[in-house]
Each structure stands twice: as structure tokens, then as C-alpha cells.
Amino acid sequence: MIRRFGQQPDPGRKYTIRPSAYAILPRGASLLLTLQNAPAREFQLPGGGIDPGESAVQALHREVYEETG
């Protein structure tokens, strides 16, 4: 099981499990991360859910672009 950080899921909400793709992206001596300010300030790996018909690599490219521009 993967250790969970941050806010716990809402027990009264129905969640859909779907495949996702995330990446560790080096930029020189640094890493490319995203920052979520609300509901809590958290750094995250760029990535997200894989849409139907997408490969994991295609989804990762799309998600990184959506999240970082």
C-alpha cells in the first residue's frame, strides 16, 4: 500500500478509481513540481488521470502541459 499524505478522502463521497501517470522530471539540478495552494499548500508531482484511448505517456504529456503550461 502507498503511504498517503495530505487530506484524507471524504468517507461520504463516491470515488472512481482510474489509472494515472505521474513523473519525476529533472530540470538541471532541480525537479519540476506543481504547487497546490488550496485547500492546503502542497507540492506535487506533475501528472494525473489517463483518459480513455490515451497511453500513459500521452496522458503524462497532456497533464504536465495542463499543470505547468
d(CA 49, CA 21): 6
Structural domain of 59: 20-68
Q: How confident is the model at residue 40 (pLDDT cuts 50, 70, 90)?
A: confident
If one counts the domains in the chain, the total is: 1
Q: Is residue 31 part of a domain?
A: yes
Query: How confident is the model over 53-65, as pLDDT tens digits?
Result: 999 999 999 999 9
Report residue 2 CA to chain centroid gap.
Answer: 14
Checking if the pLDDT of 2 tops 70, the result is no
The average pLDDT across 18-36 equals 92
CA-nearest of 55, 2, 48, 53 to 23 is 48
Position 40 in a domain: yes
Does residue 1 carry a pLDDT above 70? no
Whether 46 maps to a domain, the answer reads yes
pLDDT at position 57 is 97
Q: Is residue 6 part of a domain?
A: no
